[in-house]
């Protein structure tokens, strides 16, 4: 597993992150780390929940600068790039519900 | 979250053109005062008959609003100030900023209120004051919170409150409110007319729109009946008819409130009673009506009851009841003229002050937003104080206007309007404008201010006498001088003012720098002794201005704070603490850390740039409602992550934990009262850049504890 991702997961498991903070922090690894790499390398116990959270949060057309950042300064341009990559992955991997 | 180098620095942003957009289309006081060239010959004339830009009539272009629902008359019933040779421009309701063409998109995100007031729009002003969408209310009310309510400088729990709480039953004028769906979530901007101040409070603490303007609130106790309450309020009834009148008035005054119920009475009977079908039965019912303990009910005033009595028996039928009630309301309404005047004055003052900024920076719209960020909270944080100042000018100005030839009758008519609300509104607008203009000159021109005032006088000769007579510069210096000294105006704005007033730009920038330097010295004095064995490579951003994007950044020192105790002292002999130590050390120095808080020491890379700690960091979809549960980790604790970089300084540990815990403890209280809050509101509470919010307050708390450590000689 990528070092930073492994460290994040370990921190989450020891309680350093609330779920929402953890998954958001994982997305901050993008674009240095590819979306599919992150999803592939997440532990099984977290992967489905992470993807579900991705769909809930980003499977929409909300502009990057319309998200409200809490506890950290927003960087709309970086956020825009992340969103494009995440949404591209989500489009390429429609949920089973959507496929039906 | 506590950030490294956190400061009040704010920059003009993508919404930077909102206020200016709003302002552009508004005919401000100066636009009305400013004469065509040659300006010195300008004189006031009344708007032509029929063209008077009033807003109350059905023919009004933009202000054809219906009368307000309550007794306070439309402020805009008075013609607007009009200059000769300038075509009358119909002004809109001040709450109808979106009706005016080019500034339609301006500022008011909420739809205009159909019953809005009628002076020129200052929706940009309200946008800046609320920091979110708001909608007009324009009604009297009273405080129904049993222990009173604090008026806060921002619409958020825990925001600073400059004055004492407004007590239960305190009279307020509710000017506007936020637009959330439920009253429990809405905030109101109110003027406490008896206290003579203004600010924000939650709508749920107010009883808005009394049944008659002089009605008061009364707390109720278990088992009370309307009959006994009526007797306590009005004295023993002289006869049965009188008794029936009193209890029926009480019932009618409160039938829409939760505080009164009719026991063992079916609806049809109640309806019959309201129609007055059987007066004997009616009396019986009203005497039997119970009130709910722990609530409050309206008590119409005795004079109102007398008016009601004079108007005829209440029980003569529902139509007649309404007519009699409204007639009595109109008569009783005169009793609260003073309250209307104060309310109008403060609202006018805000409008005038806002207009002054717009006026002074007319032609430089990009600066208006930046200047508002610097200056606006000087007005809104304690409008009562400024009101006290400018009201003192009113009497002085009477002397100035003995030579009233310079002033149009129209102006004086407005100044002495019969309607106390109109009078207060106009006087407040004029004087607020003057005060803000002087203040702007003071903070941009520094030591050159007196000369700059002369520049204004040349441009607007109508104000020469006013400015000189009321000694505005002296008063403004007295009242606002301390705050003004720590205001750093953007250099471009200072230069613009200088140019506009005919002064050399270089001189203005120098003067602005002078003011800035004074502030710098003052702060350095305050921080004297703090920098021993400094922690961290550099102090937080202390420069007066930073270039951000295309705008310069502005900063108000001492208002939105940075940690004054920074840099923090490192531990002797290089002692480095552990995460377990953090809780103990912080607790020993007065930081309250509930049992469900878990502290983690993490590498700085897991914290946002320039941050020392974090307990929540994520993005939310706009409009999302956040619950307290979302702060918790999977072990049902709230993780507070602090940077390992601060473990070598007990001062830093205390400061950082004090900061984080002040925010978290404050949020815990909020979430105890409310299951969820909108993410936007959460952001305003704990993100930087919102003066007086939990994040801002946390600096003061942290500084206090670190200062105490130093006082005790902690090493």
> pLDDT tens digits for B408-437?
566 667 777 888 878 888 877 777 777 777
The answer, yes or no, to whether residue B222 has pLDDT greater than 70, is yes
Place A48 in a pLDDT band, splitting at 50, 70 and 90: very high
Cα B371 to Cα B512: distance, rounded to the nearest angstrom: 13
Nearest chain A residue to B631, by CA:
A18
Which residues of chain A neighbour B687 with C-beta distances below 8 Å?
69-71
Cis check: omega of the bond before A31, within 30 degrees of 0: yes
Structure confidence at residue B583 (pLDDT) = 92
CA-derived radius of gyration, chain B: 29
Angle between helices B383-400 and B365-380 (to 10 degrees): 100
8 Å CB contact of A15 and B606: no
Structure confidence at residue B396 (pLDDT) = 60
Structure confidence at residue B317 (pLDDT) = 44
Structure confidence at residue A21 (pLDDT) = 96
Q: Per the structure block, which two tokens stand in for B441? A: 């000159």
Cα B416 to Cα B427: distance, rounded to the nearest angstrom: 9
Which residues of chain A neighbour B602 with C-beta distances below 8 Å?
11, 16
Q: What percent of chain B has pLDDT above 90?
A: 18
**Cβ–Cβ under 8 Å, residues A19 and B636:** no
Structure confidence at residue B641 (pLDDT) = 96
For the segment B210-228, the average pLDDT, to the nearest whole number, is 84
Q: How far is B340 from chain A (nearest CA, A)?
A: 40
8 Å CB contact of A68 and B619: yes
pLDDT 10s digits, B27-44: 333 343 333 333 322 222
The answer, yes or no, to whether residue B485 has pLDDT greater than 60, is no
Place B531 in a pLDDT band, splitting at 50, 70 and 90: very low
Q: Is A17 on the interface with B (CB under 8 A)?
A: yes
The highest-confidence range among B331-335, B480-484, B500-504, by mean pLDDT, is: B331-335
Backbone φ and ψ of B149, nearest 5°:
-145, 140
pTM over 0.80, yes/no = no
Pick from A12, A60, A69: which is nearest to B619 by CB?
Answer: A69
pLDDT 10s digits, B680-700: 999 989 888 777 788 888 888
Q: How far is B615 from chain A (nearest CA, A)?
A: 8
Nearest chain A residue to B614, by CA:
A71
Which residues of chain B neighbour A57 with C-beta distances below 8 Å?
619, 621
Looking at the DSSP assignment, which residues form a beta bridge with residue B218? B297
Q: Per the structure block, which two tokens stand in for B288? A: 């039997």
Pick from A18, A57, A65: which is nearest to B639 by CB?
Answer: A18
The answer, yes or no, to whether residue B207 has pLDDT greater than 80, is yes
Alpha helices in B446-471, H assignment, sequence order:
449-459, 464-469
- Counting one residue from chain A and one from chain B, the pairs whose CB atoms sit within 8 A come to 99
CA dihedral B43, B48, B49, B53 (to 10 degrees): -90
8 Å CB contact of B639 and A20: no
8 Å CB contact of A71 and B614: yes
Place B94 in a pLDDT band, splitting at 50, 70 and 90: very low
Say what the ipTM of the complex is. 0.94
Structure confidence at residue B234 (pLDDT) = 86
Which residues of chain A neighbour B624 with C-beta distances below 8 Å?
68
pLDDT 10s digits, B577-590: 998 899 999 999 99
Task: Report A:50-89 residues touching B (Cβ under 8 A).
Answer: 57, 60, 62, 65-74, 79
- B200 or B410: which leads in pLDDT: B200
pLDDT 10s digits, A10-32: 999 999 999 999 999 999 998 88
Place B266 in a pLDDT band, splitting at 50, 70 and 90: very low
Cα B355 to Cα B437: distance, rounded to the nearest angstrom: 9
The answer, yes or no, to whether residue A40 has pLDDT greater than 70, is yes
B611 DSSP 8-state letter = B
List residues of B whose CB lies inside 8 A of any A CB: 1, 14, 598, 600, 602, 606, 608-609, 611, 614-622, 624, 626, 630-635, 637-639, 641, 679-680, 682-683, 686-687
């Amino acid at each position: 597993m990528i070092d930073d991702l492994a460290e994040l997961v370990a921190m989450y498991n020891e309680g350093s992150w609330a779920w929402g903070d953890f998954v958001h922090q994982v997305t901050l690894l993008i674009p240095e780390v590819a979306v599919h790499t992150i999803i592939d390398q997440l532990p099984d116990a977290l992967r489905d929940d992470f993807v579900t959270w991705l769909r809930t949060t980003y499977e929409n057309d909300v502009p990057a600068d319309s998200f409200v950042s809490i506890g950290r300064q927003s960087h709309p341009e970086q956020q825009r790039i992340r969103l494009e990559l995440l949404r591209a992955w989500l489009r390429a991997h429609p949920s089973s519900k959507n496929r039906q | 979250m506590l950030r490294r180098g956190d400061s009040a620095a704010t920059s003009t942003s993508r919404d930077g053109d909102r206020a200016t957009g709003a302002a552009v289309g508004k005919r401000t006081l100066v636009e009305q005062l400013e004469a065509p060239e040659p300006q010195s010959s300008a004189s006031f004339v009344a708007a032509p008959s029929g063209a008077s830009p009033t807003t109350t009539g059905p023919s009004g272009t933009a202000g054809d609003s219906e009368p307000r629902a309550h007794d306070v008359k439309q402020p805009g019933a008075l013609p607007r100030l009009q200059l000769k040779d300038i075509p009358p421009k119909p002004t809109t309701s001040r709450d109808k900023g979106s009706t005016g063409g080019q500034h339609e998109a301006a500022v008011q995100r909420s739809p205009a209120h159909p019953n809005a007031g009628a002076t020129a729009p200052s929706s940009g002003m309200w946008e800046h004051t609320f920091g979110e969408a708001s909608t007009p209310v324009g009604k009297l009310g009273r405080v129904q919170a049993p222990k009173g309510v604090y008026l806060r400088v921002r619409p958020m729990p825990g925001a600073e409150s400059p004055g004492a709480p407004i007590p239960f039953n305190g009279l307020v004028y509710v000017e506007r409110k936020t637009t959330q769906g439920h009253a429990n979530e809405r905030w109101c901007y109110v003027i406490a007319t008896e206290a003579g101040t203004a600010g924000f409070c939650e709508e749920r603490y107010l009883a808005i729109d009394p049944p008659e303007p002089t009605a008061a609130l009364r707390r109720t106790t278990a088992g009370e009946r309307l009959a006994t309450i009526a007797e306590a309020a009005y004295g023993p009834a002289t006869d049965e008819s009188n008794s029936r009148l009193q209890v029926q008035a009480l019932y009618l005054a409160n039938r829409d409130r939760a505080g009164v119920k009719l026991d063992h009475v079916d609806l049809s009977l109640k309806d019959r009673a309201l129609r007055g079908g059987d007066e004997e039965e009616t009396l019986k019912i009203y005497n039997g009506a119970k009130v709910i303990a722990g609530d409050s009910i309206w008590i119409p005033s005795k004079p109102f009851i007398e008016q009601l009595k004079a108007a005829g028996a209440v029980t003569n039928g529902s139509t007649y009841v309404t007519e009699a009630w409204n007639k009595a309301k109109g008569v009783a309404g005169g009793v609260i003229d003073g309250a209307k005047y104060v309310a109008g004055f403060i609202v006018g003052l805000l409008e005038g002050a806002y207009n002054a900024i717009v006026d002074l920076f007319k032609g430089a719209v990009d600066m208006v937003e930046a200047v508002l960020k610097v200056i606006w909270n000087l007005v809104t944080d304690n409008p009562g104080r400024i009101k006290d100042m400018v009201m003192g000018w009113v009497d002085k100005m009477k002397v100035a206007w003995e030579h009233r030839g310079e002033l149009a009758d129209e102006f004086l008519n407005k100044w002495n309007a019969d309607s106390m609300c109109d009078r207060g509104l106009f006087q407040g607008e004029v004087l607020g404008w003057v005060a803000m203009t002087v203040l702007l000159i003071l903070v941009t021109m520094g030591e050159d201010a007196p000369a700059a005032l002369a520049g204004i006088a040349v441009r607007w000769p109508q104000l020469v006498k006013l400015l000189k007579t009321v000694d505005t510069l002296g008063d403004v210096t007295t009242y606002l001088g301390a705050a003004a000294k720590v205001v750093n105006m953007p250099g471009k704005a200072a230069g613009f003012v200088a140019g506009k007033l005919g002064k050399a730009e270089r001189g203005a920038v120098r003067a602005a720098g002078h003011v800035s330097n004074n502030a710098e010295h003052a702060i350095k004095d305050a921080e004297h002794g703090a920098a021993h064995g400094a922690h961290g490579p550099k102090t937080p951003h202390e420069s007066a201005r930073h270039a951000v994007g295309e705008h310069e950044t502005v900063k108000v020192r001492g208002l939105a704070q940075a940690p004054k105790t920074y840099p923090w002292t490192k531990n002797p002999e290089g002692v480095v603490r552990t995460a377990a130590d953090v809780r103990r050390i912080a607790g020993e120095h007065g930081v309250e850390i509930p049992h469900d808080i878990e502290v983690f020491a993490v590498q700085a890379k897991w914290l946002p740039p320039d941050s020392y700690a974090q307990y929540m960091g994520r993005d939310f979809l706009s409009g999302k409602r956040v619950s307290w549960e979302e702060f918790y980790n999977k072990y049902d604790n709230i993780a507070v992550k602090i940077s390992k970089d601060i473990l070598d300084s007990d001062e830093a540990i205390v400061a950082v934990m004090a900061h984080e815990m002040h925010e978290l403890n404050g949020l815990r209280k909020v979430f105890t009262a409310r299951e969820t809050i909108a993410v936007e509101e959460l952001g305003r509470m704990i993100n930087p850049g919102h003066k007086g919010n939990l994040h801002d307050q946390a600096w003061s708390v942290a500084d206090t504890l670190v200062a105490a450590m130093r006082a005790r000689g902690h090493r």
